[in-house]
Chains A and B, each alone.
Chain A
């Protein structure tokens, strides 16, 4: 058993878990944060993407014990209070989701992608960077649209804040 301590969505949590416990199972089963999903066994689908110390990683390919000491943000912690994160808002506005299963991972990956590209994004880059996230419903068309829109909105928002 491992004693793990981490900050999840701003809350400090501690637990004793089997060493083989994956971070995704710790989040889902110990913390009841079921927004993070498991869609494959091979670390490819990205339904499980969360932010660990500010980086989008696949929580199905990390032990809870490895994440001990880290700061985690899941889809449940992305919005600030009642206000949606711009990426969440863009996914809704542009119909970037259908069944919703891949959506949390998509949004967490997209948020990280936009952060890594302060210069802005184009369609080709977005499509390339979505390599680790699989969606079966949307054909990605509206996901790409949503991410491009969110990137623009966040750049404008950042400028507005800076000004």
Chain B
């Protein structure tokens, strides 16, 4: 490992600007003549729009224009789409209801956009927005997915009878039922995965500028994947052809999935800029983010896990209802299907699995991928059930898991996935040792003497990242390919620019990607620039989500570096009159192996561009492009252990220790990987103890629409984390990377709930396990 190469704990290059106030986020952008937009939003969860009167609003001071959905439709702006086709088990395609970027006849959730006001200042736009008169005819609303399926429930979309979007299955129903029939023991669970609001600290924003002279639109926006935004806005929303639309995602203040999707606001801002002739900026306030950012999770499942007399799992049957909210967000359909049911085998050898998933419309904010996306739901289900089974069977939770681990690779599960590499026992052992699992009974006794209830719980997660061969996901319904592209430009004096389709919004690509270049060419990372987030600079890309930037994005860079290296070696061989196969790259020089002949990197680059002395027929320059399409998913896995202490008088739970033992394959920068794990665990602890979107069932109002009611994890809610790695390299990509961005959020919730339920002696506990819920559960357990 070099000082700056793969495996080095290099401080981040990008930090310099962030710690000095020099970051450039969308809201920091200012254009001459720029105006400010405020959206008029529905205060009702479900209502017909009888009329919109904008006359008074248009006369307010500073107002440029007030635009409505009818005008948007008249201009041919398309409906928002879901880009992953799922077919129900009867073969019918999913039932996608129309989602106009500005509602025309009907609003379906509180926050649904109805009109846009453009004015000189944001204050004026807000003043005017209050003067837009919308006549609503209120209808009954339905919030809970299971309720929405019942006869007589309010109907959201004519396309989706009984609010059912699809009724999908995976696995072998017959084999699973047979396993249940012959089981020695069946553990049954009712599992609720609570709805979360992503809450990237930077609220979503868009700044659109239509240049009339060039008939060209530029949109700065808070996106994890600007190329996908351009593609979708061009192909489906009729904003502009791709060559007339530039999407720039500058510094982005966190995403966690919520900034993958193309939302109504950026579409409407682009259209409004063209309509008004002025640059239009919109920045969400926090309550707007709560209402309109795609939410996460919201599953309810019935589970049956069957064991034989030797405590081996012989079957798993799952019936899940997934709440999709009022509209199908861009990748919503993939989350409770191929990102969820395919992981239900966990780390275990299970011969028969069957999952049935019903996706349902309700009068709530749309739901889509949020850190982990489907995999946290699967992990929570499997790991809560395993822990419960161990309690029911009277065996050690660790040993029940160990007995059922997959130990031979590759391992084909009954639910599509083929695990390529892993060592689950290694993570389990490491975590148990780090947590001093053996010493827990003594600690529990000691706590008891202090009047505290102490508990310990574990979670052995597996997830799938680096999604995935384009042909495979295409056959499963994906509307896009899931490759990545990269371009490596060696400049004439040897500095290097790497253009990547991955997008960094906290992940540190500007550092880790440069470390890869350092590893390969020996040039200092300060002479390597990573260029991303601009469709005019980077040819194409699929963006950052699903922990794919290392496994897929960096693999594309490797391919481009391979091509650069091959050409550089040809030039070096020519310059030094050596055989190409004898050229090696060391310490920033190209050398003839076994001799003292060498050409410094910068000189080689200069030679490529002066082109005075190149091999016959060679094109000048040193710049290569590559596309990388993965050959399989990658499978990060690990073991998390949580130890808690509960105050029985108040129900307050304190996390005493949290141990993470992960297998991420090879690691580029351990410091950054640990940071990803810390953040993921915090979100997982948030889900399990603090966070939950709460709607008023009658009115459909989001009660948790600000930080006054939605509990964000604070520093004093969390402990410091003990993080370690037991890595098995991924055989499927050139760097052996599995991905680390989501593991923390995937693996931690069941560990926390297993620990709390262990402490209080009551297994019936909902997330978030708030003090009141824990107190009530203790109260029930006592009586």
Contact = CB atoms under 8 A, between A and B. Distances in A.
A141 B492 CA distance: 42
A97 interface: yes
Given A35-B23, A98-B508, A127 B716 contact: yes
Interface in B253-282: 253-254, 256
Contacts of B199: 136
A79 B199 CA distance: 30
Given A45-B201, A47-B201, A92-B12, A128 B716 contact: yes
Interface in B703-735: 706-708, 712-716, 718, 720-721
Q: Interface size for chain A: under 10, 10 to 19, 20 to 34, or 35 or more residues?
A: 35 or more
A101 B505 CA distance: 10
Contact of B20 (A75, A124, A128, A145): A75
B715 A101 contact: no
Chain A contact residues: over half helix, strand or loop, or mixed?
Answer: loop
A18 B123 CA distance: 10
B721 A99 contact: no
A144 B19 contact: no
Contacts of B286: 39-42, 45
Interface in B16-41: 16-25, 27-28, 30
A98 B252 CA distance: 10
A92 B22 CA distance: 14
B11 interface: yes
Contacts of B379: none
B200 interface: yes
Contacts of A75: 19-21
B7 interface: no
B16 to A, nearest CB: 7
Contacts of B707: 40, 42, 44-45, 134
Given A45-B201, A135-B201, A98 B507 contact: yes
Interface residues of B, number: 57
A137 B24 CA distance: 18
A29 to B, nearest CB: 8
B251 A100 contact: yes
Given A95-B672, A95-B675, A37 B706 contact: no
Contacts of A40: 286, 706-707
Nearest to B672: A95
Contacts of A38: 27, 203
A59 interface: no
B128 to A, nearest CB: 15
Interface stretch (B480-488, B575-583, B677-685): B677-685
Contacts of A37: 25, 27, 201-202, 253
Contacts of B287: 41
A138 interface: yes
A33 B120 CA distance: 20
B137 interface: no
A75 B201 CA distance: 17
A98 B22 CA distance: 14
A56 B678 CA distance: 27
A73 B708 CA distance: 28
A59 B748 CA distance: 35
Interface in B196-215: 199-203
A24 to B, nearest CB: 11
A143 B254 CA distance: 16
Nearest to A25: B122
A139 B682 contact: yes
Nearest to A143: B715
Contacts, number: 181
B671 interface: yes
A139 B254 contact: no
Given A35-B20, A92-B19, A143-B715, A99 B720 contact: no
Interface stretch (A62-70, A102-110, A114-122, A152-160): A102-110
B504 to A, nearest CB: 9
A141 B720 contact: yes
Contact of A95 (B11, B285, B680): B11
B513 to A, nearest CB: 16
B18 A141 contact: no
Contacts of B708: 42, 44
Contacts of B716: 124, 127-128, 130-131
Among A37, A74, A126, A128, find the residue whose CB has the most chain B CB atoms closer than 10 A.
Answer: A37
Nearest to B684: A139
A131 B20 contact: no
A127 B20 contact: no
Interface string B666-702: 0000011011001111110000000000000000000
A26 to B, nearest CB: 13
Given A92-B12, A134-B707, A102 B201 contact: yes
User: Which of A28, A34, A45, A136 is packed against the most chain B CB atoms within 10 Å?
Assistant: A136
B323 to A, nearest CB: 23
B696 to A, nearest CB: 19
B747 to A, nearest CB: 13
A24 B172 CA distance: 59
B19 A107 contact: yes
A84 B20 CA distance: 8
A88 B412 CA distance: 49
B678 A100 contact: no
A131 B714 contact: yes
A48 to B, nearest CB: 11
B302 interface: no
A102 B715 CA distance: 13
Which among B20, B201, B254, B256 has the greatest number of chain A C-beta atoms within 10 A? B201
Interface string A7-37: 0000000000010100000001000111111
Nearest to B721: A141
B242 interface: no
Given A79-B20, A103-B18, A141-B718, 13 more contacts: A32-B30, A41-B285, A45-B707, A75-B20, A76-B22, A92-B11, A102-B201, A130-B714, A134-B201, A139-B718, A141-B675, A142-B675, A142-B678
4 smallest beta-carbon distances between A and B, as pairs: A35-B21, A101-B253, A100-B18, A139-B682
Interface of A: 18, 20, 28, 32-42, 44-45, 47, 74-76, 78-79, 84, 88, 91-93, 95, 97-104, 107, 123-124, 126-128, 130-131, 133-145
